[in-house]
Structure 1
Amino acid sequence: METRKLGRTGPAVSALGLGAMGMSDFYGPADEAEGVATIHAALDAGVNLIDTGDFYGSGHNELMIGRALRDHKREDVVISVKFGGMRTPGGGFQPVGVDVGAAAVKDRLAYTLRRLGTDYVDVYRPARLNPAIPIEETVGAIKEMIDEGYVRHVGLSEVGAETIRKAAAVHPVADLQIEYSLMSRGLEERILPVTRELGIGVTAYGVLSRGLLSGHWRADRELSVGDFRGHAPRFQGENLDANLRLVEALREIAEEQEATVAQVAIAWVLGRGDDIVPLVGARTRERLAESLAAPRVTLTARVLARIEAAVPAEAVAGTRYNTGGMASLDSEQ
């Protein structure tokens, strides 16, 4: 597995990371045993970056990762944690935003360390910006945790260029986590130039656009209770039909490359720069194995041009979150 560095100051990580969210939440019921087996398979394949959030499954995701890593050397794994999402006992989100104040940084980190069974987190990041809490306060508190040895690096998530600059003025930032795929290219114009100017890496989630670019999605797929895609605009009605037509155009190119749609979509993100590390959200060993073959897909300039013509950003139908979700993204403002 090729390695890449998360920005100028971050750790060396595998060129593909594993996003563990779907093993606990947001995509309907998941098989915990299969999730643990998938984490083990990823580690065996050379993947050393695992991304989670303390609010994924209200702590379940961290507990599962802790169990999966019990027999592995801690220094061999880079754990990235988002914090701040406020849940309800019924599994929903509280409407008051994210809690990323200085006290919350330390309090939530304490629980994260216990659930993961570790004494430090490699990259710690607020899940979203809270406009009422200066990013300088949040990053300053994470810096204190770095000084005390509980955190190694500062990360950010879904924030815009101005916020990135403010955060980096307090402490070096290893990486920005943000959605990036053929269907979600909003960071390219204003955000990516700033991360590159400041030497900040990008960990790209949603590289398969929540499954749309997997090549396995069907228009008649029935979604289970708890699968947020049942309310996501890109998966609704005419939007879904339009987006699946783009996928079929991509499939034609993928078949010519003797690859799957998912592999080509991941390879496209990998090719956007050595400062970008795609996170694959595989929930099973089968899907993981498919994703891990993506780095072997070679995309020539001619093929890249065809791919971008087949899936032009302006042709994607629907926003990546609903109205409320989009409003919470500093990166989209």
Structure 2
Amino acid sequence: MDTRRMERLGLDTSVIGMGCWQIGGSWGEVPESDALATLHAAADAGVTFFDTADVYGNGRSEQLVGRFRRERPAGSVFVATKMGRRADPHVAGAYTLDNFRAWNDRSRANLGMDTLDLVQLHCPPSPVFTTQATYDALDTMVAEGRMRAYGVSVERCDEALAAIERPNVASVQIILNAFRLKLLEEVLPAAVAAGVGIIARVPLASGLLSGRYTADTEFAVDDHRSYNREGASFDKGETFSGVPYDVGIAAAQEFAGLVPEGVTPAQFALRWIVDTPGVSVVIPGARNAEQARANAAAGSLPPLSASQRDAVAALYDRRIREHVHASW
């Protein structure tokens, strides 16, 4: 497994991490035994970075990650969690020090950690990113020993750029995959210049880039790929990267044609992200141990060639750009 430095965190992380939304909820049910086996399979394959959130399964994901962490050798697992989506209503005014402390207390209990490794604001309303009080409160949380560092998870490139300007923001989590390329223009160069880590989420466009789905694929009613295609529950960019499903299926079929022999479309998609300058770690989800191992294997594949990257860019321009580029 290749590793990469996150400068502001002072952390060397595996380039392939694991996103733990799937083991919490909103992707159909994953039994506890399967979830733990998936986490351990990822770690056994060299994954060191695990990303969760307090709202995934209403705390279930954090609890499972905490249990898993206690079962691994000390210091071998880095846990990033997120806070803010518990606010009801989810408005900028809810992002206060008192609420941060309450959310943080809950996450520390779920994870069984006195000091959290990394806490990210979980896609807050845009004004939060330009409010000084937000960062003052986060600095206070670090000073109180509640967390080692903080970052942000964002929907939009302008939100990422606003956060990168802040001196103590350690990381920005943002959607990046072969169907979402806008952040290559400004966000990634700015992050490199500032030493801010980039955590790439939704790397397979909610599974589209795995090549496993067709126009007739049906998803469970409790799977966000059924109920959130138009953003009914949260930003629609989180579901299939905001690409209309029929467009995404056709583009994914063409994408699969670019994949070399012996590599799966998912691994090719992950390696494309790993090879993108400025990316620190990519966090695919997994529902079982086999998926976790396959994802991790992308971290040791050879880099993509220039012609392969050019082909991905051309596919994006031809099929995807008009649907997503102006929106996020």
Per the shorter chain, which TM-score range? 0.7 to 0.9
Matched with 1:116 is: 111
Matched with 2:59 is: 59
Equivalent of residue 269 in structure 2, options 262, 265, 268: 265
Give the SS at the match of 1:175.
strand
Matched with 1:81 is: 81
Residues 216-275 of structure 1 show CA distances to partners (whole Å, capped at 9, x for unaligned) of 11221111111111131576xx93233222212221221x34211101100100010254
Give the SS at the match of 2:75.
helix
Looking at structure 2, the residues matched to 247 and 164 of structure 1 have their Cα atoms a distance apart, in angstroms, of: 27
Matches within 5 A, 1:1-333: 1-86=1-86, 94=88, 96-97=90-91, 99-131=94-126, 133=128, 135-158=131-154, 163-164=159-160, 167=163, 171-230=167-226, 231-233=228-230, 239-254=244-259, 256-273=260-277, 275-298=279-302, 299-309=304-314, 311-313=315-317, 315-316=319-320, 332=328
Q: What amino acid maps onto 2:125 in structure 1?
A: N
Deviation at 1:278, TM superposition (A): 0.7
Residues 20-54 of structure 1 show CA distances to partners (whole Å, capped at 9, x for unaligned) of 00111121222221111111111112211110011
Deviation at 1:143, TM superposition (A): 1.4
Looking at structure 2, the residues matched to 269 and 285 of structure 1 have their Cα atoms a distance apart, in angstroms, of: 22
Q: What amino acid maps onto 2:170 in structure 1?
A: A
Residues 102-134 of structure 1 show CA distances to partners (whole Å, capped at 9, x for unaligned) of 211111101100110111111111102334645
Q: 1:163 to 1:295 in 2, by over 3 A?
A: closer
Residues 147-191 of structure 1 show CA distances to partners (whole Å, capped at 9, x for unaligned) of 122211111111656655654565422210000000112222232
- Residues 155, 176 of structure 1: 8 Å contact kept: yes
Deviation at 1:314, TM superposition (A): 5.3
- Residues 178, 269 of structure 2: 8 Å contact kept: yes
Looking at structure 1, the residues matched to 155 and 202 of structure 2 have their Cα atoms a distance apart, in angstroms, of: 16
- Count of residues in correspondence between the two structures: 313
- Residues 142, 151 of structure 1: 8 Å contact kept: no
Q: 1:258 to 1:73 in 2, by over 3 A?
A: closer
Give the SS at the match of 2:222.
coil
Deviation at 1:295, TM superposition (A): 2.6
Deviation at 1:285, TM superposition (A): 0.8
Looking at structure 2, the residues matched to 302 and 317 of structure 1 have their Cα atoms a distance apart, in angstroms, of: 20
Looking at structure 1, the residues matched to 246 and 162 of structure 2 have their Cα atoms a distance apart, in angstroms, of: 41
Looking at structure 1, the residues matched to 45 and 79 of structure 2 have their Cα atoms a distance apart, in angstroms, of: 17
Q: What amino acid maps onto 2:19 in structure 1?
A: G
Gap regions ≥5 residues in structure 1:
88-93, 321-325, 327-331
Q: What amino acid maps onto 1:308 in structure 2?
A: A
- Residues 269, 276 of structure 1: 8 Å contact kept: no
Gap regions ≥5 residues in structure 2:
231-238
- Residues 7, 175 of structure 1: 8 Å contact kept: no
TM-score, length-scaled by structure 1: 0.85
Looking at structure 2, the residues matched to 319 and 308 of structure 1 have their Cα atoms a distance apart, in angstroms, of: 15
Root mean square deviation, CA, Å: 2.6
Q: What amino acid maps onto 2:206 in structure 1?
A: R
Moved beyond 6 Å, runs of 4+: none
Q: 1:297 to 1:260 in 2, by over 3 A?
A: same
TM-score, length-scaled by structure 2: 0.86
- Residues 79, 118 of structure 2: 8 Å contact kept: yes
Q: 1:296 to 1:167 in 2, by over 3 A?
A: closer
Q: 1:164 to 1:214 in 2, by over 3 A?
A: closer
Q: 1:95 to 1:145 in 2, by over 3 A?
A: closer
Deviation at 1:95, TM superposition (A): 5.0
Identity %: 28
Out of 5-14 and 23-32, give the one that drifted further. Answer: 5-14
Looking at structure 1, the residues matched to 270 and 136 of structure 2 have their Cα atoms a distance apart, in angstroms, of: 34
